């Protein structure tokens, strides 16, 4: 057996912050509701990594090892938030946008957008607005939205990851979409 | 005659089916209910279009915030913590 050619991945903790600090912060910031939570997650990631560095076997790169730790921290954070779902009224199935008879409430009614060629959508400015609308979503709405569309997970995986029911998922996603629609209407389409 | 065979659904149920459809396929019964609902309700039909549009555009957003910078005080704090643990 010739193992000499295998280059083992090694950890360089002295360079972690310099090499991965901003990257991990960007990763966390696009997934949680506030910058201060994202800062805490990055901080916890580095600390856990430092404490667990003896367990690193070098089979993944340093970078993906750190990202896995960060991802787990974010999942823990989501789960804590999901634990209080009932307190936040998520359990009452869409009562804020549908009336008892199942019709749209006046507040939730939207308007049509002009998506014809005359309104250019796929521009840098549009994505900047969409991104900031997304960043303004509340915690778990942002979580389901990012997992679904940016991480490309399906709803079953998301429910499992967050430990929520399919109907919780639907309410969260529906609220996210309604809020994004309002935000895009206000800041882009009907500006 | 034909519509009589289809159970009428509310807007709430219609939007639920629309969001389910993005993920999984609907049964023919569910599809039919949605089609009939949209014939009668433009609000829901527009909402599904907008919802699909939002999803499609969101897929083009970066999963990372590229310009983000970890504030300096956090960097210093983490460095200090790590060197204290050594």
> Could you give the ipTM of this predicted complex?
0.79
User: pLDDT (tens digit, 0 to 9) for every residue of chain B, 86 residues total?
Assistant: 455 567 789 998 898 889 888 888 899 999 999 999 999 998 899 999 999 999 999 998 877 777 889 999 999 998 888 877 66
Cα B58 from Cα A141, distance rounded (Å): 14
Of residues A23, A157, A30, A144, the one with CA closest to residue A81? A144
Cα–Cα dist A71/A41, whole Å: 9
Q: How far is CA A5 from the centre of its chain?
A: 39
* Helix (H) / strand (E) containing B5: none
pTM, two decimal places: 0.80
pLDDT band at A1; cut points 50, 70, 90:
very low
Q: How many Å is the Cα radius of gyration of chain B?
A: 24
Put simply, the chain A residues between 54 and 83 with a CB less than 8 A from any chain B CB are none
Kindly determine whether residue B75 and residue A21, on different chains, have CB atoms separated by under 8 Å: yes
Considering only CB atoms, B58 lies closest to which of A42, A112, A150, namely: A150
A138–chain B Cβ distance below 8 A for any pair: no
Measure the CA dihedral B7/B10/B14/B15, to 10°.
-170
The rounded distance, in Å, linking the Cα atoms of A78 and A71 is 11
Residues in chain B closer than 8 A to A44 (CB atoms) = none
Of residues A132 and A84, more confidence is placed in A132
């Amino acid at each position: 057996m010739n193992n000499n050619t295998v280059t083992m991945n090694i950890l360089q903790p002295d360079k972690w912050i310099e090499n991965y600090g901003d990257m991990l912060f960007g990763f966390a910031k696009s997934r949680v509701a506030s910058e201060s939570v994202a800062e805490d997650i990055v901080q916890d990631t580095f600390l856990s990594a430092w404490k667990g560095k003896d367990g690193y076997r070098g089979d993944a790169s340093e970078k993906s090892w750190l990202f896995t730790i960060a991802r787990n921290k974010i999942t823990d954070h989501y789960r804590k938030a999901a634990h209080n779902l009932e307190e936040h009224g998520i359990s009452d199935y869409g009562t804020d946008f549908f009336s008892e008879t199942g019709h749209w409430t006046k507040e939730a009614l939207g308007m049509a957008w002009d998506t014809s060629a005359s309104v250019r959508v796929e521009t840098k400015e549009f994505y900047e607005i969409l991104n900031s609308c997304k960043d303004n979503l509340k915690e778990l709405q942002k979580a389901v939205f990012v997992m679904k569309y940016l991480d490309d997970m399906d709803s079953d995986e998301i429910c499992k990851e967050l430990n929520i029911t399919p109907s919780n998922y639907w309410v969260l996603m529906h609220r996210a979409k309604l809020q994004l629609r309002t935000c895009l209407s206000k800041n882009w389409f009907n500006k | 005659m034909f519509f009589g065979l289809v159970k009428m659904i509310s807007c709430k149920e219609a939007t639920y089916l629309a969001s389910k459809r993005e993920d999984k396929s609907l049964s023919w019964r569910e599809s039919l209910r949605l089609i009939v609902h949209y014939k009668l309700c433009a609000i829901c039909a527009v909402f599904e279009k907008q919802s699909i549009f939002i999803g499609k555009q969101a897929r083009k957003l970066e999963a990372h915030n590229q310009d983000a910078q970890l504030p300096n005080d956090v960097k210093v704090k983490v460095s200090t913590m790590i060197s204290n643990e050594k």
